[in-house]
Structure 1
Amino acid sequence: MTTPLADSAPNLPSRVKSPGRADPSPHPHPQPQDGAAGAASRGIDDMPSKDFSFLQDPSAYHALPATTVPAPFLNAPNLPSVSSPLDTLLLSGHYRLAAIAAARNIVTAASPTDHETLFHLVHVRLACLCLIQEHALAAQEAKVLGDLDSAFYRHPLTNVHLVPWHLRLLAVRLAALGYGEWRKGIMGYYELARECRESIIKAAASDEETKTVWRSRLRECGIRVANVLVEMGDLEGAGRHLGTLSSSSEEQTKDDARDVLLMETLVWLRVGDIQAARRCLSRASSSTSTSSPSETSALIDGTLAALLHLADSEYAAAVSSFETLHTTFPADAMVTQNLAVCLLYTGRIADAKILLAELAEQSPAFHSLVFNLSTVYELCTERNRENKLSLAEMIAGRKDGGGWVGAE
C-alpha cells in the first residue's frame, strides 16, 4: 500500500469519518481513469446505478480470532471503541479494530449503490487484515470481489474502471495467496501493466499529468512482480528482474532508478552475492538525487554499506559503521536496532539489550524491535517470560497505539 488508508477515503458517511476532519484528505496524486471517482464519471450525472449489495453479505466477513492476542492488549487502558470513526482508528494504528469497524460499516453503513464508499471500506478491511498477519483470511474475503477484469466493474459509458487502483493491486496479491499460486499474482500484475501501457498510449499528447501517473503505476507493477518472486523464493530471478527495471530508460527519473537499485542491493544481499550488491549500491550512490534530501541518501547508503560488512562476516566493521551512523542519526530507530543486532553478533549482549530497551521506551514499537528484544531476554535471563509480559504491557499502555501487533 503506497497510499495511507486514512488519507485515501472518498466522501464517506459521518459514521466513517473522524469528527475532527470535515473532509477526508485528497489523494496526493491525481487518479485518472479509475478509482471510482474519475473525473469522467463524476461529470456524467445520468450514470446508471449499479448494485454492489453482494459486497455487503455478512457471511463474507469473518470474526477475527482473539486467541493470538496477548492479554495486555485485550485490556489496554487506551483501547478505543470499535465504534470510533474509521480513520481515527487507522491514524492511531489500531488495525485490528479498524478491520472490525470496516466490516461493520460495509454491512450496515454504506448504500449498495455507493461504490466509492464500499470499495474504500473493502480496501481498509483487506489491508488491515494483512497488517495484522491475517493474510489467509484476507485472501478468502477478497474472493467476494469476484473477477475485477469483468465489464461489470467498468463505467457503462466511459469504460473507466470503478475500483481504486490500490485495491486492484492488493486483490492481485490476495488472489495469488488464496489459490496458493504465486504465478497467478505475476500474471495479474503483468495484466495491470498492460493496461498502464495502453492508458499511456491513449492519453492525449498534451496530458503529461495523466501519463506521469500511469508511468508511475507501470513501474509499481514491475516492482511488485519482483516482490512476488522474492516471496516465491526465487531471489535470483527477482534480482535479475529489478536489474531490467533499473537499467530501463523508459521515461524513468534518476530518483526512480536509484530506488530500484537500492531494492536490487537488498535482494542480492539476501542471495549472498556480495559483489553484485556492492555493484548496485555503488551505482545508486553515484546517481544524483533531485528530490531526496542529502541526509536521507547518506542514511540509506550508509546503512546498506554497513549491512554489506555484516553480510560479509565483517562484524567489527559493521559495528563501527553503525556506531558512526548512530552518532549522526541518533533518533533513527532502524540504525539503533541494526547497531544492537551487530553488537549481538560480536557478543556484546548487555550493550545490545540496553540499546533495544531504550529504543522500545523512546520510540513507537515495531515488529522486529519486539522480536529482537524478546530474543535478547531469552539469551540473558531465565525470567524472559516476565520481561516479555512487561514489554507487552508497556506497549499496550502507550497512547501512540500498538495496533500493529494485531491485538487491541
Structure 2
Amino acid sequence: MNPPPLHPSSRPRSHGRVASGDERRRVAITRRSTKGPLDDDTDDPLAASIQTVVSPPPSQRVLSPTRSDASPLSPHGHDGVQGSIDLPPKDFSFLKDPAAYHVLPATNIPPPFLNAPNLPSINSPLDSLLQSGHYRLAAISAARAIVTTTPPTDSETLLHLFHVRLACLCLISEHALAAQESKLLGDLNSAFYRHPFTDAHLVPWELRLLVVRLAALGYGEWRKGIMGYYELARECRENLVKVESTEEKQLWRARLRDCGIRVANVLVEMGELEGAGRHLGTLATAEDSDTPGARELLIMEALVWLRVGDILNARRCLSSAANLSSDELVDGTLKALIHLSNSEYTATVSAFRSLHDQFPGDAMIAQNLAVSLLYTGHIAEARTLLEDLVDSSEPFRSEIFNLSTIYELCTERNREKKMGLAEKMARREGTGSVGWEISAAEFKL
C-alpha cells in the first residue's frame, strides 16, 4: 500500500535464445576504439546544458500503415539524421510471419472489461485505439497490419508497427511475450540494419531502446540490458564527435543522458538499489547545475535512497535539489515520504493533508494521504477518499490495488465490492491518458 514502486514487481520467466541463421545475425559492425561511453571528453555530453527531450503526444506519433512520412517515433528521421535518406529496398518479410505473433491471453482480465458495452471494434483505426488507451486491441491491430497489409520492402512502416506492437504488449504487462517477439529483429548491430552509404541505423532509436529493455526485463538478463545501454551510449559519443549542428549535438547529448538513467533503472529492477543510487549520483554531479536535468536526477536519486532506507542521503539529495529550484508539490511529497520512511505516521498524515488542501486535484497526493490514514487506523476516511478519487480522476494501478485492499479489510463480501469496482471501471470511456484495461491482479481478484 506504499506509493507506486520505481520498477515492476513481477519478473517474466526466462526463454531460450534464438539461433542465429541469417546475415542480420552473422555480420557484426566493427567497433571503433573509444573511451568508455560515459567517460569525460573535451565535449562532455553529460556535463552540457541540455533540455530533456519530450516525446510528441500520441496523436502526433501515430501513422497509418499507408503513410510514407519520416518515422513518427523519431522526429529527426532514421537515427536522428535530418531529412529523408534514399535506401535501396530491403526485404523485411521476416517480420511478416504470422506464427511469430502470439495470441494474447485473456485469463488475467476481469470479465467486465471483456464484455464492456463501449469496447471498440478490432477493426477500428490503430490511431483511435492508441488515443483511447485500448492497448490490447492496438497490439492485435498492429500485428494484423504487419502481416496482411504492409509490403515487405516498406521498412519504415513495418518497424513503426512493430514498435507499436511491442510497446502495447508492455503496457498491458505482457513483457514475456514482447521479449519473445522482439527476437524477430535479430542482431541490431548487424550490417543489415545500416545504410550502405551513410552507415545510419535504419531502426528508430526508441525501438532500439525498447529492445534493450526487453532483453533485460523480459528474460531477466540484467547484465545484457546494461551492456546494451552502454553500446548505445558509445554510439551517442561517436555521433557527438561527428555531427556539427547544435541541434544534433543536443539530441545526442540528451540520448546519452537518457542511456545513463536507463542503466540506473535496470539496476533498480534487478534489486541493486545502492548501485543505482551511486550511479545516479555520478550523473547528477556531471550535470550543469543550471539545467533542469540536474534537479530531476537528484529527485530520482532521493527516491532510490528512500527505497534503500538511507534517509540521510535522501535528505541530502532533496536539499541539493531545493538549492537548484523549488517545487512545492514535489519537495513536499518527498518530505512526507521521508516521514513515512521513519515510521512517523502522524507527521506523514499532516504533511499529505496539507498538500491535499493545497493541491486538491492531484490524484497521487490524495492516494498517499489515504494510505497514510490507513496506517494510522482511519480506514473509513481512507476508503471514502479513494472511492471519491476513483470517481473524479483517471484510475491508476496503485489506486485500484489500495482500494481493493481496503475492501478486504472492511468486509467479508469484498469480492462483490471488487467486481463492482471492475464494472465501474469498464463502463468508463477511454481518454488515452492512462490505459483503459486494468488487470485482475490490480483488483486482487
Scaled by the length of structure 2, the TM-score of the pair is 0.82
Change (3 A) 1:178 1:360: closer
Shift of the alpha carbon at 1:155? Answer: 1.2
Residue identity opposite 2:82 in structure 1: A
C-alpha distance after superposition, 1:350-369 (max 9, x if no partner)? 00000000001111111111
- Secondary structure in 2 matching 1:34: helix
Shift of the alpha carbon at 1:272? Answer: 0.3
8 Å CA contact 1:7, 1:25 repeated in 2 = no
Quick one: distance in 2 between partners of 1:25 and 1:49?
16
Q: Which residue of 2 aligns with 1:282?
A: 319
Q: Which residue of 2 aligns with 1:65?
A: 105
Quick one: distance in 1 between partners of 2:182 and 2:367?
35
Q: Which residue of 1 aligns with 2:304?
A: 267
How many residue pairs are counted as aligned between the two chains? 385
Q: Which residue of 2 aligns with 1:366?
A: 396
Residue identity opposite 1:225 in structure 2: V
8 Å CA contact 2:298, 2:318 repeated in 1 = yes
Q: Which residue of 2 aligns with 1:148?
A: 188
C-alpha distance after superposition, 1:175-208 (max 9, x if no partner)? 223443100000000000000011111111xx11
Shift of the alpha carbon at 1:301? Answer: 1.0
User: Are positions 1:237 and 2:275 aligned together?
Assistant: yes
C-alpha distance after superposition, 1:47-68 (max 9, x if no partner)? 2101111011111100000111
Quick one: distance in 1 between partners of 2:284 and 2:152?
44
8 Å CA contact 2:366, 2:389 repeated in 1 = yes
Quick one: distance in 1 between partners of 2:162 and 2:72?
19
User: Are positions 1:247 and 2:285 aligned together?
Assistant: yes
Quick one: distance in 1 between partners of 2:249 and 2:437?
36
Quick one: distance in 2 between partners of 1:315 and 1:177?
34
Q: In proportion to residue count, which structure has more helix?
A: 1
Q: Which residue of 1 aligns with 2:43?
A: none
Match of 1:3 among 16, 33, 55: 55
Match of 1:221 among 245, 259, 264: 259
Structure 2: gaps of 5 or more residues: 1-52, 441-445
Q: Which residue of 2 aligns with 1:197?
A: 237
8 Å CA contact 1:5, 1:124 repeated in 2 = no
Residue identity opposite 2:294 in structure 1: A
Q: Which residue of 2 aligns with 1:209?
A: 247
Change (3 A) 1:311 1:302: same
Residue identity opposite 1:6 in structure 2: P
Quick one: distance in 1 between partners of 2:218 and 2:413?
40
User: Are positions 1:39 and 2:69 aligned together?
Assistant: no
Match of 1:353 among 358, 363, 383: 383
Larger mean CA deviation between 397-406 and 328-337 belongs to 397-406
Shift of the alpha carbon at 1:382? Answer: 0.7
Match of 1:112 among 127, 130, 152: 152
Shift of the alpha carbon at 1:5? Answer: 7.6
Change (3 A) 1:162 1:43: closer
Residue identity opposite 1:120 in structure 2: H
Q: Which residue of 1 aligns with 2:118?
A: 78
Quick one: distance in 1 between partners of 2:165 and 2:224?
22
Q: Which residue of 2 aligns with 1:182?
A: 222
- Secondary structure in 2 matching 1:122: helix
Q: Which residue of 2 aligns with 1:380?
A: 410
- Secondary structure in 1 matching 2:301: helix
CA RMSD in angstroms comes to 2.3
User: Are positions 1:164 and 2:194 aligned together?
Assistant: no
> How much identity, in percent, do the aligned residues show?
65
Quick one: distance in 2 between partners of 1:126 and 1:4?
19
Match of 2:436 among 398, 403, 406: 403
Match of 1:12 among 64, 67, 70: 64
Residue identity opposite 1:34 in structure 2: D
Quick one: distance in 2 between partners of 1:156 and 1:145?
18
Shift of the alpha carbon at 1:406? Answer: 5.3
- Secondary structure in 2 matching 1:403: coil
Structure 1: gaps of 5 or more residues: 18-22, 289-293
Quick one: distance in 1 between partners of 2:321 and 2:437?
32
C-alpha distance after superposition, 1:82-130 (max 9, x if no partner)? 1111121111111111111111111112111111111111111111111
Shift of the alpha carbon at 1:405? Answer: 1.7
Q: Which residue of 2 aligns with 1:291?
A: none
Quick one: distance in 2 between partners of 1:238 and 1:148?
27
- Secondary structure in 1 matching 2:102: coil
Q: Which residue of 2 aligns with 1:20?
A: none
8 Å CA contact 1:131, 1:406 repeated in 2 = no
Change (3 A) 1:99 1:252: farther
